[in-house]
Amino acid sequence: MSSTNSNYPEIREAVAKLCSNFPGEYWRGLDDTDTYPTEFVQALTEAGFLSVLIPEEYGGAGLPIEAGCVILEEIQRSGCNGGACHAQMYTMGTLLRHGTDEQKKKYLPEIAEGSLRLQAFGVTEPTSGTDTTRIRTMAVRDGDDYVINGQKVFISRTEHSDLMVLLVRTTPRDECKKPSDGMSVFLVDMRECLGKGLTINPIKTMINHSTTELFFDNMRVPAANMLGAEGKGFKCILDGMNAERILIASECIGDARFFIERASAYACEREVFGRPIGKNQGIQFPIARNYIETEAAALMVYNAARLFDEGKPCGSEANMGKMIASEASWHAADTCLQTHGGFGYTQEYDIERKFRETRLYQTAPISTNLILSHVGIHELGMPKSF
């Protein structure tokens, strides 16, 4: 164990124990049929791991984000995939930080208990892509409701969630002073909207991620379900995005550790030319390099987590941590596949599955280029290119 994975040892041990009940065969079976890991998510829910960030007054454990990082890191490290449910941990942050007392009392205790699932976060649209201020989904006030029309794409877990945090426009972009004005956030109860203006279509992807496209056709949402002030929704989702980046960066660290542990074990055990392949520095050094890169990335991610927990600005740190951690996991995935030779390509080793899964972090929840441009502009004062 290194100094970067010795925090919260009891939580680490308990998560690893739970995950040992969900071995590679379990995930391979789901992958073959694009099936949601219901039993795994249920076990995490019952153990209370998905509600650790909810304050105690609402029934959660009230732990800092660092504890959430440890949980997701251990899930990934054990070969499981937290992507099925990680959003249950952090999507509630928008409600917690921007909801009214009434909204929090209504939803948070049931979310903490696990009887209400809030694990869908609807931002991306087909035409706007990363340029979030150009979203077109529009909500118009009508009496006690808002009527929503538009479309979202790649919204994950909607078929396995009761609620969704949805970003829409309430004022067209060209009528706003700043492009980031005029957007609002709603807590949508999808159980009430499905078939009444809300259509959900699954999207098949290279990984088993339960992602979907959504169509809103005069979907009515009570005005009481708006989170934060009308027109100020962008700010509401931004601090949630920092939490998301820090937690997903921890998944990358966990993936990197999975690949490094698998690669070094295989390098010791596989003998070719009469000696373990790990004796060859061409095999050994890349794995050692991945380990060093992962240790450095973990320090950055835990630094971002600490700033977040202290309520300090951490936008750049969250972004940088996510980028460096996703690169550590991707490099380790490549090394691990190479170390395993042909066997790395077979499904039974789980390397090819984890290789596909960890590639996602180069693109979502934010792509590497956008992080580089954030740092270029906000940390280094260079001009914006778009």
Restricted to residues 202-221, the positions that interact with ligand FAD (CB under 6 A) are 205, 209, 211
Q: Which helix (H) or strand (E) holds 189?
A: strand 183-189
Instruction: Decide whether 171 or 373 has the Cβ nearer to ligand FAD.
Output: 373
Tell the smallest beta-carbon distance from residue 23 to ligand FAD (Å): 24
Decide if residue 122 touches ligand FAD (CB under 6 A).
Answer: yes
CA angle 98, 99, 103 (to 5 degrees): 175
Tell the smallest beta-carbon distance from residue 322 to ligand FAD (Å): 12
Helix or strand or coil: residue 99? coil
Tell the smallest beta-carbon distance from residue 1 to ligand FAD (Å): 32
Residue in 23, 129, 172, 202 binding ligand FAD, rule: CB under 6 A: 129
- Which tokens belong to 112? 């903490």
Decide if residue 369 touches ligand FAD (CB under 6 A).
Answer: yes
Tell the smallest beta-carbon distance from residue 218 to ligand FAD (Å): 22
Tell me if 166 sits within 8 A of 183, measured CB to CB: no
Chain residue whose CB lies nearest ligand FAD: 129
CA 293/CA 316 separation, integer angstroms:
19
Tell the smallest beta-carbon distance from residue 94 to ligand FAD (Å): 13
Q: What string of DSSP letters covers 312-363?
A: ---HHHHHHHHHHHHHHHHHHHHHHHHHTGGGGGSGGGSHHHHHHHHHGGGT
Q: What string of DSSP letters covers 241-291?
A: HHHHHHHHHHHHHHHHHHHHHHHHHHHHH-EETTEEGGGSHHHHHHHHHHH
Instruction: Decide whether 155 or 298 has the Cβ nearer to ligand FAD.
Output: 155
Restricted to residues 290-319, the positions that interact with ligand FAD (CB under 6 A) are none
CA 151/CA 131 separation, integer angstroms:
15
Verify whether residue 25 is a known catalytic residue: no
Q: Which helix (H) or strand (E) holds 25?
A: helix 24-33
Count the residues of the shown chain that bind ligand FAD, applying the rule CB under 6 A: 22
Q: Is the dihedral of CA 56, 61, 65, 68 positive or negative?
A: negative
* Catalytic hit among 73, 74, 125, 244: 244
CA 4/CA 301 separation, integer angstroms:
10
Tell the smallest beta-carbon distance from residue 159 to ligand FAD (Å): 12
| Residue labelled with tokens 């249950």 | 88
Instruction: Decide whether 169 or 340 has the Cβ nearer to ligand FAD.
Output: 169
Instruction: Decide whether 38 or 127 has the Cβ nearer to ligand FAD.
Output: 127
Instruction: Decide whether 111 or 260 has the Cβ nearer to ligand FAD.
Output: 111
Instruction: Decide whether 15 or 155 has the Cβ nearer to ligand FAD.
Output: 155
Q: How far is CA 294 from the centre of its chain?
A: 19
CA 222/CA 244 separation, integer angstroms:
27
Tell the smallest beta-carbon distance from residue 142 to ligand FAD (Å): 25
DSSP state of 199: E
Residue in 367, 375, 376, 377 binding ligand FAD, rule: CB under 6 A: 367
Residue in 7, 130, 171, 316 binding ligand FAD, rule: CB under 6 A: 130
Instruction: Decide whether 80 or 366 has the Cβ nearer to ligand FAD.
Output: 366
Residue in 49, 154, 216, 302 binding ligand FAD, rule: CB under 6 A: 154
Residue in 80, 89, 92, 155 binding ligand FAD, rule: CB under 6 A: 155
Instruction: Decide whether 121 or 146 has the Cβ nearer to ligand FAD.
Output: 121
The residues pairing with 215 across neighbouring beta strands, listed in sequence order, are 151, 199
Restricted to residues 337-366, the positions that interact with ligand FAD (CB under 6 A) are 360, 363-366
Tell the smallest beta-carbon distance from residue 192 to ligand FAD (Å): 20
For the chain, how many helices (H) and strands (E)?
13, 10
Decide if residue 124 touches ligand FAD (CB under 6 A).
Answer: yes
Decide if residue 373 touches ligand FAD (CB under 6 A).
Answer: yes
Q: How far is CA 134 from CA 167, 217, 324, in A?
A: 11, 19, 28
Tell me which residues touch ligand FAD (CB under 6 A). Answer: 121-124, 129-130, 154-156, 205, 209, 211, 360, 363-367, 369-370, 373, 386
Active site residues: 244
